[in-house]
A and B are shown apart, each in its own frame.
Chain A
Amino acid sequence: MGAGLAVAVSGNPRAQRWLSFFTLSAVLVVAVILLFAADGGPLVVNVGGWAAPVGISLVADRLSSVMLAVSAAVTLCVLLYALAQALSVGDPESPVAIFHPTYMALTAGVAMCFLSGDLFNLYVGFEVLLVASYVLITLGGTSPRIRAGTIYVVVAVISSVILLVAIGLIYSATGTLNMAQLAMRLPEIDAGIRLVLQLLLLIAFSIKAAVFPFAAWLPDSYPTAPAPVTAVFAGLLTKVGIYGILRTQTTLFDDSQADALLMWAALVTMIVGILGAVAQSDLKRLLSFTLVSHIGFMLFGISLASQAGLAAAIFYVLHHITVQTALFLVAGLIEARGGTTSLNRLGGLARSTPVLAILFLIPAFNLSGIPPLSGFLGKLGLLQAGVELGSTLAYTLVAGGVLTSLLTLYVMVKAWNKAFWQMPVGEETRAALPRSMVGTTAALVALGFSFTLIAGPIYSYTERAASDLRSQVPYIQSVLTEGDRGEGPSPDAAAEAGVAP
């Protein structure tokens, strides 16, 4: 809705800015209200007034609403940063007129994915956010961005096609796409077919989430985009893929046929990702590789399929959204300050800009899991859940997780040494940092840090969300209130849908 308005006033940049700001603030307020409301039980809206299995329902359970709240906060921060960057660069047209509408569309797509109670609606939400992201990643149309965009678009289209195949086959196998109804019908169909459907969905979401065998596109395509765009992509888009895995694996397929496979994928993702990061000398590429590696941690939690594992995974996702976005914003600041993100050419930033050093240090330590920061708490939860499970593979994963944390610390320290401590290399090109950009980055770093302070309430919230996911019952009951269909008009239509093939 905001996107349409933003297109309408595209001639007037000032109006566009205020509009985006107010829209995203409103989204944030709504998301926080939902966060508390959904704690009492999942909320369901049947769009268009049609009853659940026929109409499209939007469902806000604990998992959806907490993801929505955090992503709304992050998108708002990134918007402010983008505004500050445009103002400071001094070119009033600089985020070209298309930036605001596209950014709104991206936010809408992300929200749609989180709230969708229908598999096809999830696909449409994905497409909305992907098309918006295609435009953002090629913003300006320079040669490196077109090159990166090519890779990104082709990979994303292929993953969408696989998702569409999965949806088509699921419909033909069960006759429904409503997640609550699917959760009841999928256990009834043939186990072999169910496994095929599960794996198809897993592959589609894994490409989007950049899980190892499908992760090679990410470090190639993210770093060339403008800093705020990369930040929001890194923070949110891969997490939407993780959300897709989380939702479908727990709500739809509760038996654990694919868990061992997921564990291996998690292990390899963690190790390969972080080894890639060790080899990099460019800060943005380095951060992209750590992003891939830490996707492995989330997958680790999901693959355990225990309540503790899921709770830790959800907590880790929330923590990682803020921290990774903050790190990319800091990388943007470093680029603005030093003129480059190549670690070989940066140096001496700790002396010249202590603020930047602090802003980098907190999320960097948070990412590598130094106690008492929230990254430590999330990892501790994951490791505990892994030990609880006690199988050999789980212990291997625990060891892999610890190794990855250590290597993350090594990578972060390396980046720190080169960018902040090393003697300055070459001539000094030191632009002054605009205060508003530093301010918004600091706000996001503070948000990440506050997760540490209020970790107790958040953790218990994610535990309740995980137990909802495990039991499935609240989700199904709130969508399909009257046994096999939702409340609302059109009982005939609902009955008809019930007899589809």
Chain B
Amino acid sequence: MTFAGSDGVLVLVVAVLVAVGIYLALERSLSRVAVGLLMVSNGINLMVLVVAGPPGGAPIVGVTPESEMSDPLPQALVLTAIVIGLALTAFLLSMAYRSWQLNGHDEVQDDLEDRRIARLAAADIAGRGDLAGAWVSLAEEAEEVHDETFIEEHWLAEDLEEGVP
């Protein structure tokens, strides 16, 4: 008996799940990232089942002859992986909710230093002579994007730097 047809379909499903999942994981909103990671992990679970060999009967001695049994171990592995995936999704969603409680959104924030470097690079490519024009202090930047974590720290630090000769 050949299962090449159904295997092919399953492999296609795995590919689609993983591709869609990765696309979603690259989104800014944490809840979309959570859904994306859920799809990736489901796709991988399916992959483990597909690569585990041809399907057979229930692996119980006395019900199915040994030669027709399907391999039970990958099923046990996938079961464990599903449980872990469930816990992770729950945690990610609760984190997204907490972020929404705190900030009113659940977006993954940019790294401030990355933003500055990107801005400098953009100015460089545009060929403007004065790079200084593109230079905004870290604290101003933080204020602009409402990054609470950085604002206080850096205003304090810069106040001190100016105050000390």
* Cα–Cα distance between A161 and B37 once the two chains are bound (Å): 9
Q: Is the CB of B91 closer than 8 A to any CB of chain A?
A: yes
Q: Is the CB of A138 closer than 8 A to any CB of chain B?
A: yes
Q: Is the CB of B115 closer than 8 A to any CB of chain A?
A: no
A344 touching B149 by the CB < 8 A rule? Answer: no
Most buried by B among A131, A146, A158, A500: A146
B:4-59 near A, CB below 8 Å: 25, 30, 33, 37, 40-41, 44-45, 47-48, 51-53
Cβ contacts B59-97/A at 8 Å (1 or 0 each): 000000010000101100100110010011001100100
B130 neighbours in A (Cβ, 8 Å): none
B109 neighbours in A (Cβ, 8 Å): 147
A144 touching B149 by the CB < 8 A rule? Answer: yes
A177 neighbours in B (Cβ, 8 Å): 73
B148 neighbours in A (Cβ, 8 Å): 143-144
Cβ contacts B109-148/A at 8 Å (1 or 0 each): 1010000000000000000000000000000000000001
Q: Is the CB of B1 closer than 8 A to any CB of chain A?
A: no
Q: Is the CB of A483 closer than 8 A to any CB of chain B?
A: no
B111 neighbours in A (Cβ, 8 Å): 220
B157 touching A153 by the CB < 8 A rule? Answer: no
A157 neighbours in B (Cβ, 8 Å): 37, 41, 88, 92
* Dominant secondary structure at the A interface: helix
Q: Name the residue of chain B whose CB is nearest to the CB of A342.
A: B157
Cβ contacts A130-167/B at 8 Å (1 or 0 each): 01001100100111101101110110011011001101
Contact A164/B81 with A146-B102, A153-B91 known, Cβ cut-off 8 Å: yes
A345 touching B157 by the CB < 8 A rule? Answer: yes
Q: Is the CB of A120 closer than 8 A to any CB of chain B?
A: yes
B52 neighbours in A (Cβ, 8 Å): 168, 171-172, 501
A141 neighbours in B (Cβ, 8 Å): 98, 102
A161 touching B41 by the CB < 8 A rule? Answer: yes
Q: How large is the interface on A (under 10, 10 to 19, 20 to 34, 35 or more residues)?
A: 35 or more
A154 touching B99 by the CB < 8 A rule? Answer: no
A124 touching B80 by the CB < 8 A rule? Answer: yes
**A-to-B contact residues, CB < 8 Å:** 120, 124, 127, 131, 134-135, 138, 141-144, 146-147, 149-151, 153-154, 157-158, 160-161, 164-165, 167-169, 171-172, 177, 220, 224, 281, 342, 344-345, 425-426, 496-497, 500-501
Ordered by A's residue number, 6 sampled pairs between the chains whose C-beta atoms are within 8 Å are: A143-B148, A151-B108, A154-B25, A165-B44, A171-B73, A497-B73
**B-to-A contact residues, CB < 8 Å:** 25, 30, 33, 37, 40-41, 44-45, 47-48, 51-53, 66, 71, 73-74, 77, 80-81, 84, 87-88, 91-92, 95, 98-99, 102-103, 108-109, 111, 148-149, 153, 156-157, 160-161, 163-164
